[in-house]
Amino acid sequence: MIYGIGIDLGGTRIKSARFDLDSGALLASTIAPSRDGARTGAEPTFAVAVREVLRRHEQEAGGPAAIVGLAAPGLADRDGSCIRFMPGKLDGLENLVWSDFLQRPACCLNDAHAALMGEIWQGAAKGREDVVMLTLGTGVGGAVISGGRLLRGHIGRAGHLGHLTVNLEGPQDATGTPGSIEFEIGNGHLAERSHGRFVMTRDLLAAVEAGDADAKAVWDRSLKALAAAVAGLINCFDPEVFLIGGGISNAWEFIEPGLEHWLDQYEWRPGGHRVPVLRATLGEWAGCHGALHFAMTTLNS
């Protein structure tokens, strides 16, 4: 069997999955700690851990992987050899050429880009060529496929859709963007939005479900901002479908009704055409799927 491995490297965990390259079937998956900031000799411990994850997969499979794809935060080099820019997290990741380090054909890309590539390969956008995705979590990430091509931009910055302004008077986020969608719905700013009452969306939604009027006002504002961003991105990219992923999307029953309500008011629908807004289906494993799919399409082109 010819197989490949997709790895999703985060600051806390390393997720990996082994796939049959002929059928795309998932053969095995693992989760290991990344231990950001630790060193093993001269090497970052997260990189050593990735190498060990690869070794274990190959030992189980009885032979070497044909190809390895790796997803990580940061801006990836155009050729997919490494992450060129990732300040303040995963020290040692910048300019680490994974094919050299792992001694295997390997390719890497931004983690949000990988999530969409996974959904295109085996998820909610399978077979689509024009798709926009927002990932809602601590922050808000995103990615765009246009005409079947992943938009990466000049330095790999394309797709950072969470840094789109939806409130000009709002505070600046980590990139300097005022009133971004990341501020309005991401967990990382929920304490500010709720005046210190909540730090996680699940707790906010529990209060909403219990009838807390103040919590409902905070959540309604978030959905209104999300809908404004989705409507604007639809105008920019004219997608076949729009995907919502990330941890907050697990509360889809709270998201969908309000999002649809506001999109009925905000979305431009020429000739009555309405863009389906769907929940992404691969969950936390989307990055592993997409990292391998990207490596397959990049290294085999």
**pLDDT (0 to 100) of residue 299:** 86
What is the residue-wise DSSP string for 144-212?
A: EEETTEE---SSS-TT-GGG-BS-TTSPB-TTS-BTBHHHHH-GGGHHHHTTTS-SSHHHHHHHHHTT-
pLDDT 10s digits, 34-82: 999 999 999 999 999 999 999 999 999 999 999 999 999 999 999 999 9
The verdict on 176 and 262 lying in the same domain is: yes
pLDDT exceeds 90 at position 85: yes
Please check whether residue 95 lies inside any domain of the structure. Answer: yes
pLDDT 10s digits, 108-133: 999 999 999 999 999 999 999 999 99
Phi then psi dihedrals of residue 34, to 5 deg: -95, -25
Please check whether residue 18 lies inside any domain of the structure. Answer: yes
The verdict on 136 and 33 lying in the same domain is: no
**pLDDT (0 to 100) of residue 106:** 96
Please check whether residue 150 lies inside any domain of the structure. Answer: yes
pLDDT exceeds 80 at position 272: yes
The verdict on 105 and 142 lying in the same domain is: no
pLDDT 10s digits, 169-226: 999 998 999 999 999 999 999 999 999 999 999 999 999 999 999 999 999 999 999 9
How large is the average pLDDT for residues 11-28?
96
CA 253 to chain centre: 21
pLDDT exceeds 90 at position 87: no
The parent domain of residue 228 ranges over 128-280
Q: Are 89 and 11 in contact (CB under 8 A)?
A: yes
Residue written as tokens 């907050």? 248
Please check whether residue 123 lies inside any domain of the structure. Answer: no
Please check whether residue 273 lies inside any domain of the structure. Answer: yes
The verdict on 135 and 261 lying in the same domain is: yes
Label residues 191-223 b or e (16+ Cβ within 10 Å = b).
eebbeeebeebeebbebbeeeeeebbebbeebb
- Which positions ≥6 away from 29 have C-beta within 8 Å? 15, 16, 17, 18, 285, 288
Report the percent of the chain where pLDDT is more than 70: 100
The verdict on 151 and 107 lying in the same domain is: no
pLDDT exceeds 70 at position 101: yes
The verdict on 132 and 272 lying in the same domain is: yes
Greatest Cα pair distance in the chain: 63
The verdict on 209 and 268 lying in the same domain is: yes
The verdict on 230 and 171 lying in the same domain is: yes
pLDDT exceeds 90 at position 88: no
The verdict on 261 and 173 lying in the same domain is: yes
Please check whether residue 48 lies inside any domain of the structure. Answer: yes
The verdict on 15 and 29 lying in the same domain is: yes
The verdict on 250 and 292 lying in the same domain is: no
pLDDT exceeds 80 at position 301: no
Q: What's the CATH code of the domain at 265?
A: 3.30.420.40
The verdict on 82 and 138 lying in the same domain is: no
Please check whether residue 80 lies inside any domain of the structure. Answer: yes
Please check whether residue 50 lies inside any domain of the structure. Answer: yes
What domain count does the chain have? 2
